[in-house]
Amino acid sequence: MINSKIFEIASDLQTLWGILIFAFIITSFIILLVAFRKRVNYDSSKQIDIFERNKKYIPSLYIELNDTKENLRYFACGNRWKKRIIRDFNLMFSNYNGIQLKKKLGYLHAFKISSLISYKTLLAVLESYHSFFSDMRNERTELREKFGDYYFVLERLGYDYSKKIAELISFCKMSLSKKMLIVGSAGNGKTNILCNYVKFAMNQGCPCIFINAKDINIDCLEFLNTKLKLPAIIAKYRHLYINIINFLLFCRRKFLFIIIDALNENDAPVFINSISELTDFFNKYSRIKLLYSCRSEFFDFRYKSFFDKCLNPPTVFNVRESDYDDRAKKHLLLAYGKYFNFSGSISKNVESKLFRSLLLMRIFFEVNSGLSQNVIELHDAEIYKKYIDNITSNNRSFDLLSIINHIAEIMVKHLDFNGVEISKLNLSTQDKKSFKDMLDDNILMSYTLHKNKGLITEETVEIVYFVFDELRDFCITRYILSNCKDENDSDYNYFFSVADELYKNKMSPLEGILKYAYIYFKQLKKYYICKKILDSYSNTPIYKWKYNRDWLYRDNEIFYNFGMSIIFSDVENLKDYEKVYIYELTKNNVHDFWNMFFYLLRNDIDGILPSTELVLEVLSFHENYRALEKLIKPFFDDRNEKDEEERHIYILCQRLEKIEEIHGFIPTHLKQFLLLIYAINPEEYLLDNYIGIFINEHDTYEQLINMMKNHEIKIALEEVKNSFSK
């Protein structure tokens, strides 16, 4: 009896001991996860603070311009947001139009997804529905016969549903994805997006490792080990440690996010060659997600091949291929104006330029802080110069311009534009301190610490770098041109030797250097050098990068040809050689021609030069009537089944009304353009509103007829003139 009780007590103690051990292990794991989350999130918060000090991230100015943040929310939340996708899909077909559609198609019980479906099956179902509605637009004849007039409703609904389902498919892929790469042009707010995302993820209780790519000067995995801050005793068991973290995250239904900003800002071979290895390393961990950002101009050319080698490449999300809401754009403009106390008015042309570069918008308001002047035209080189001058005037204790030129000199000499060791600037102790203090309080430059590996003793060096590429390119251009001037290099051979070297190596500053130099040479009336730039670099790969990036979103880009871009970067007093270049380019390029036309038409609204008179000059060069007709025909073309309000001729008429409302009259060159397109297509009914011009403007006829070189168009204009005279 006693032995039995002793045995029971021993058994109970053993069970209790097992429970205590199990509880201790669970508690230890929880403490480990909490400690890990606090440790890495503390470092990530410090990185955000650095971006805030550099003013690359201003929380009060963060605005969701498009659906980028929404895609990132799905990326962050994973399975938890599956019900949102299913709910949004089911709601599409629960209203009047959806019910009528199901009745007409005979699918009363279709177009509904169960909440119990798996994510992968959900993606397959969404893709099948997307194909169904997309194919509907290709079966016009059969559907027209089957549904009669309801077909037109069906076609419109099919387009709307197809577009919405495509968005849900994107969200679904983001939720399933473990790796994501955000691409976009410089100054488009990628760092802002990531900083805001890190805060969002940390508020969700997720650990985040936030890294600036510039800081990685060793193998990516080795660098990440330093960020994990593993104790020496645990470091050699990294795999086991990460497995434990992954398991604990699984239990809590959380993710660890490893976020690396601005891949393009690190050209070091050790970084580029190891980024794909880092991506593959975490592929086996279900609760670890990777998020990168990179400039789109260089992703395809420099980094895409490395990610293609990955077992599972990251999902690429293009910020520029996500529609910007006009209301959000306006809200951002107003937010900047309020933050920098700018009360002046901005022309539509300037507004358009600012929206193409969020960096330029930021600096524009900063240099015009507290002013109330009206801005009709914009010159970004002048803005950058003014910005640097403002920083210089606020830091008179050292020669900032000399330091900037020295940095540019070292970058050009070594063809390394990531940064320069501060020690190589040969600054005095006091100048170095003042310089570093300045770096903490501007968005011109910043600095970081790098460790030189492979030495007997590790050496830590301080690296200074330009925060934004456009400013860097401006400073480098100014250094190169100043060098040519100091060396009496009247043919600017040094400039072209640097440009050729950058072209050969396809390096990032080439675009900016050519653009700023072109404006400089034009101001000096060295037109032969401007022409040499156009002849040598107008088909540079920069043009191809832009075209690959933006051809689906033409509303966000004016010109795809690099030569056109630099010509219109300084729009005052276009020269004959530029007009000839535009003619040669646009005579077979309808897209660039009409982009140029509406760009100049916006100038007519604002009352600035150049105006659409340039279009008439370019058209007057045409001696072949068929080529001229081919160029004008898309102005009336309705072959893409556009809505009436989307036709070019309709848009022109609307803007002519606005011009007449603002200025009280229609300029002569626009009257001449109306006469020209009427002579080519007199059957366009929208031109009937301008019969008064066709009847009374005899001098306008004569000027236009004398301007045109093509004999057939002269005859057509004479016929129009004579018909209205009668």
- How confident is residue 553, by pLDDT bands cut at 50, 70 and 90? very low
Helix, strand, or coil (residue 73)? helix
Check residue 406 and give its pLDDT: 94
Tell me what percent of the residues of the chain surpass a pLDDT of 70. Answer: 83
- How confident is residue 639, by pLDDT bands cut at 50, 70 and 90? very low
Phi-psi region of 399 (alpha: psi -120 to 50; beta: other; left: phi over 0): beta
Q: Is the pLDDT of residue 37 over 50?
A: yes
State the residue for tokens 């801050």.
229
- Residue 634: cis peptide before it, omega within 30 degrees of 0: no
- How confident is residue 93, by pLDDT bands cut at 50, 70 and 90? confident
Q: What is the mean pLDDT of the chain?
A: 81
Q: Which of 17-31, 98-112, 357-371 has the lowest mean pLDDT?
A: 17-31
- How confident is residue 551, by pLDDT bands cut at 50, 70 and 90? very low
Q: Which of 298, 296, 285 is nearest to 247 (CA)?
A: 285
Q: Is the pLDDT of residue 461 over 70?
A: yes
- How confident is residue 548, by pLDDT bands cut at 50, 70 and 90? very low
pLDDT: which is higher, 10 or 178: 178
Q: Which CATH fold topology does 2-53+177-321 show?
A: Rossmann fold (3.40.50)
Helix, strand, or coil (residue 259)? strand
Q: Is the pLDDT of residue 42 over 60?
A: yes
Q: Are 620 and 703 in contact (CB under 8 A)?
A: no
Helix, strand, or coil (residue 418)? coil
Q: Is the pLDDT of residue 2 over 70?
A: no
Check residue 683 and give its pLDDT: 83
- How confident is residue 546, by pLDDT bands cut at 50, 70 and 90? very low
- How confident is residue 554, by pLDDT bands cut at 50, 70 and 90? very low
3-state secondary structure 467-507: CCHHHHHHHHHHHHHHHHHHCCCCCCHHHHHHHHHHHHHCC
Check residue 555 and give its pLDDT: 44
Q: Is the pLDDT of residue 696 over 80?
A: no
Average pLDDT, stretch 482-488? 93
Mode of pairing for the β-strands spanning 420-421 and 459-466: antiparallel
> What's the CA gap between 112 and 443, in Å, rounded?
51
Check residue 10 and give its pLDDT: 56
State the residue for tokens 């073309």.
637
Q: Is the pLDDT of residue 697 over 80?
A: no
Check residue 493 and give its pLDDT: 95
Tell me what percent of the residues of the chain surpass a pLDDT of 90. Answer: 13
Does an H or E element contain 578, and which?
Answer: helix 576-586
At a CB cut-off of 8 Å and minimum separation 6, what does 73 contact?
81, 200
Going from N- to C-terminal start, the domains of the chain cover 2-53+177-321, 75-175, 326-378, 571-725
> What predicted TM-score, i.e. pTM, was given to this entire model?
0.59
Q: Are 206 and 255 in contact (CB under 8 A)?
A: yes
At a CB cut-off of 8 Å and minimum separation 6, what does 592 contact?
559, 560, 561, 564, 585, 586
Q: Which of 522, 535, 598, 587 is nearest to 562 (CA)?
A: 535
- How confident is residue 259, by pLDDT bands cut at 50, 70 and 90? very high
Average pLDDT, stretch 366-380? 81
pLDDT: which is higher, 319 or 336: 336
Tokens linked to 218: 């060793």
In the DSSP assignment, the letter for residue 323 is: P
Average pLDDT, stretch 206-212? 92
Instruction: Report the length, in residues, of the chain.
Output: 726
Check residue 495 and give its pLDDT: 96
Q: Are 422 and 432 in contact (CB under 8 A)?
A: yes
Count of Cβ atoms closer than 10 Å to residue 324 Cβ: 19
Q: Are 82 and 122 in contact (CB under 8 A)?
A: yes
Count of Cβ atoms closer than 10 Å to residue 585 Cβ: 19
Check residue 545 and give its pLDDT: 47
Average pLDDT, stretch 256-264? 89
Check residue 458 and give its pLDDT: 55
pLDDT: which is higher, 289 or 308: 289
Q: Is the pLDDT of residue 412 over 50?
A: yes
In the DSSP assignment, the letter for residue 444 is: S
